[in-house]
């Protein structure tokens, strides 16, 4: 006879148990056990609550209950750690998730498998859907703009603790390591009790596949080497990217560059990013086709009509695409043209690398967009010669990584309040516009003759998009002017 829990008033703990059963993390027979586990975390005084499967509603209710019952303090860290532990109750064990993922993959295909895992990660709040909804997104100047409001605020205790932290006995070694799966977290380090990772094989090596907790685009996935090794762009990178899209053909996958300034924020651990999204660069046309320098190679090469310098390589043969991309990468590796400030090395320091992005195009061709990068600095450009310059740093001064290379800006939260003040300035209202925005705002006033209440936000959005295009132009190694086109032609000729 099937066990049935004794009927009781619905409360937040019951909601969590229902979520766990719905996620196949538990059976109804586990209900008393799960209730006791949860009460150990939040206390035994449990008022009734409105029924909800919504993970954020459940978390908020139970975290507040734990504070009321003096089980935790009201600190940011305590609340984050508890929230993750509670959602761990609603998440199946990693082994169970991997078995189900592989069963679905083998029986129904990769799209069904990723849909299962993605929905599960949203349900157990590994993907912070409520936080992600706070982000502001719009399209401007054919580019995608995101103002990131989803990342949690810093805990003052974490800031203070960081002053005294050392790297000795550091565990996990970084926030990408597979050891984060189920890790409780600590002051200054994110809670990961409910974090889950799928194991996949990438060219005979074990990698992890997870979703980003604070996604920047639909189904924002991260593919992680099981070993804590530094980022390195090589021929093997291109092979790995295609191995992954062979497994998940509905996703793109790309790698940040492997050098500071032009790379991402996590250069210490080999990883790629992917997802179910077509970025502006992937939709960009080819401005010019060039001959493949390799004999008996079927891949076509085109120069992408894009602010940064990108080559698009395509073929039915992934081996031909990989070999062509590696040939271009090697030529770029030690290419120098001082007439346009391009130097492969200074004092034996390497400056050249690439940002590669792999995907299937509409004709199901293997496609690799390979973007040339140079991380030099100079007296004139101390932040980077091919980095956002001073005139655009009031909008964007951080590194231009993979996502932004493809045309999706990730801007800091400060822009929300600052753009409100810019709008007041443009409407001749009292304002507190920041000094560093003033030259830009004056140019906007000159450019637009009619700025009104009902169009000022749209004007500012469009000008942000125009500024982001300038950011990408700054990061481009061969500029879209006469000198830059001649220099690019010179590099192309060097391939033959």
pLDDT tens, position by position, 430-442? 999 999 999 999 9
Which 8-state DSSP code applies to residue 174?
S
- Give the model's pLDDT for residue 4: 36
| CB-based burial, 464-489: b 16+ in 10 Å, e otherwise | bbbbbbbbbbbbbbbbeeeebeebbe
Question: Percent of the chain having pLDDT more than 90?
Answer: 89
The residue range of the domain holding 427 is 130-151+387-475
- Looking at the structure, tell me whether residues 309 and 264 fall in a common domain: yes
52 pLDDT band, cuts 50/70/90, is confident
pLDDT for residue 88 is more than 60:
yes
* Separation of alpha carbons 351 and 194, rounded Å: 40
- Give the model's pLDDT for residue 3: 30
160 occurs within a structural domain: yes
* Separation of alpha carbons 54 and 70, rounded Å: 25
248 occurs within a structural domain: yes
Do the Cβ atoms of 298 and 316 come closer than 8 Å?
Answer: yes
Q: What is the pLDDT of residues 253-300, one digit of tens each?
A: 999 999 999 987 789 999 999 999 999 999 999 999 999 999 999 999
- Looking at the structure, tell me whether residues 229 and 306 fall in a common domain: yes
6 occurs within a structural domain: no
What is the mean predicted confidence (pLDDT) over 65-73? 95
pLDDT for residue 6 is more than 50:
no
- Looking at the structure, tell me whether residues 321 and 241 fall in a common domain: yes
Cα torsion for 298, 369, 461, 387, to the nearest 10°? -140
- Give the model's pLDDT for residue 150: 86
Chain center to CA of 106: 28
- Looking at the structure, tell me whether residues 428 and 345 fall in a common domain: no
264 SS3 class: coil
What is the mean predicted confidence (pLDDT) over 199-227? 96
- Give the model's pLDDT for residue 151: 74
- Give the model's pLDDT for residue 156: 62
pLDDT for residue 154 is more than 80:
no
Structural domains of the chain, count: 3
- Looking at the structure, tell me whether residues 243 and 376 fall in a common domain: yes
- Looking at the structure, tell me whether residues 222 and 370 fall in a common domain: yes
- Give the model's pLDDT for residue 175: 94
- Looking at the structure, tell me whether residues 141 and 197 fall in a common domain: no
Alpha-carbon distances of 155 from 64, 207, 208, 260, 431, rounded to whole Å:
18, 32, 29, 27, 31
- Give the model's pLDDT for residue 340: 98
- Looking at the structure, tell me whether residues 190 and 161 fall in a common domain: yes
Do the Cβ atoms of 311 and 318 come closer than 8 Å?
Answer: no
- Give the model's pLDDT for residue 9: 45
Which 8-state DSSP code applies to residue 7?
P
pLDDT for residue 167 is more than 80:
no
Q: What is the pLDDT of residues 299-324, one digit of tens each?
A: 999 999 999 999 999 999 999 999 99
What is the mean predicted confidence (pLDDT) over 60-79? 94
- Looking at the structure, tell me whether residues 64 and 142 fall in a common domain: no
What is the mean predicted confidence (pLDDT) over 33-57? 86
- Give the model's pLDDT for residue 48: 72
- Looking at the structure, tell me whether residues 331 and 349 fall in a common domain: yes
What average pLDDT is seen over the chain? 93
322 occurs within a structural domain: yes
Do the Cβ atoms of 77 and 102 come closer than 8 Å?
Answer: no
Q: What is the pLDDT of residues 484-496, one digit of tens each?
A: 999 999 999 999 9
Q: Find the range with the poorest average confidence among 127-136, 148-157, 167-176, 212-221.
A: 148-157
Q: What is the pLDDT of residues 355-382, one digit of tens each?
A: 999 999 999 999 999 999 999 999 999 9
345 occurs within a structural domain: yes
pLDDT for residue 398 is more than 60:
yes
- Looking at the structure, tell me whether residues 367 and 455 fall in a common domain: no
100 occurs within a structural domain: no
Do the Cβ atoms of 120 and 197 come closer than 8 Å?
Answer: no
Chain center to CA of 312: 22
314 occurs within a structural domain: yes
- Looking at the structure, tell me whether residues 302 and 285 fall in a common domain: yes
365 occurs within a structural domain: yes
Question: Percent of the chain having pLDDT more than 70?
Answer: 94
- Give the model's pLDDT for residue 47: 76
């Amino acid at each position: 006879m099937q066990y049935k829990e004794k009927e009781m008033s619905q409360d937040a703990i019951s909601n969590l148990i229902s979520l766990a059963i719905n996620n196949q993390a538990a059976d109804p027979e586990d209900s008393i056990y799960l209730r006791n586990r949860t009460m150990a975390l939040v206390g035994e005084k449990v008022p009734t609550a409105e029924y909800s499967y919504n993970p954020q509603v459940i978390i908020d209710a139970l975290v507040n209950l734990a504070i009321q019952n003096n089980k935790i303090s009201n600190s940011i860290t305590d609340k984050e750690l508890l929230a993750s532990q509670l959602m761990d109750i609603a998440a199946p064990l990693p082994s169970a998730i991997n078995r189900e993922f592989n069963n679905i993959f083998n029986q129904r295909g990769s799209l069904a498998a990723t849909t299962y895992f993605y929905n599960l990660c949203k349900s157990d709040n590994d993907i912070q859907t409520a936080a992600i909804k706070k982000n502001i997104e719009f399209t401007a100047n054919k580019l995608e703009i995101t103002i990131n409001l989803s990342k949690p605020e810093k805990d003052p205790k974490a800031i203070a603790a960081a002053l005294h932290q050392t790297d000795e006995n550091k565990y996990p070694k970084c926030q990408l390591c597979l050891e984060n799966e189920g890790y409780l977290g600590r002051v200054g380090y994110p809670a990961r009790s409910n974090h889950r990772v799928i194991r996949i094989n990438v060219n005979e090596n074990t990698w992890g596949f997870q979703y980003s907790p604070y996604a920047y685009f639909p189904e924002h996935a991260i593919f992680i080497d099981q070993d804590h090794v530094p980022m390195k762009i090589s021929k093997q990178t291109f092979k790995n990217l295609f191995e992954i899209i062979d497994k998940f053909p509905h996703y793109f996958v790309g790698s940040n560059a492997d050098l500071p300034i032009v790379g991402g924020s996590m250069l210490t651990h080999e990883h790629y990013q992917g997802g179910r999204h077509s970025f502006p660069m992937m939709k960009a046309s080819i401005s010019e086709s060039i001959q493949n320098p390799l004999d008996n190679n079927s891949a076509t090469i085109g120069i992408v009509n894009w602010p940064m310098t990108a080559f698009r390589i395509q073929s039915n043969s992934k081996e031909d695409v990989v070999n062509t991309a590696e040939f271009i990468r090697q030529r770029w590796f030690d290419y120098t043209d001082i007439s346009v400030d391009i130097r492969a090395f200074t004092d034996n320091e390497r400056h050249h690398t690439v940002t590669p992005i792999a995907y299937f195009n509409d004709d199901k061709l293997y496609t690799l967009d390979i973007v040339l990068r140079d991380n030099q600095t100079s007296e004139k450009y101390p932040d980077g010669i091919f980095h956002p310059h001073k005139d655009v740093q009031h909008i964007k001064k951080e590194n231009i990584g993979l996502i932004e290379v493809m045309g999706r800006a990730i801007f800091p939260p400060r822009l929300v309040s600052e753009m409100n003040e810019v709008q007041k300035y443009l409407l001749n209202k009292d304002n507190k516009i920041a000094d560093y925005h003033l030259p830009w705002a004056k140019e906007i006033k000159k450019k637009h003759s009619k700025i009104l209440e009902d169009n000022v936000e749209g004007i500012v959005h469009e000008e942000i998009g125009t500024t982001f295009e300038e950011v990408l132009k700054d990061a481009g190694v061969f500029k879209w002017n006469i000198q830059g086109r001649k220099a690019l032609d010179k590099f192309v000729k060097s391939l033959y």
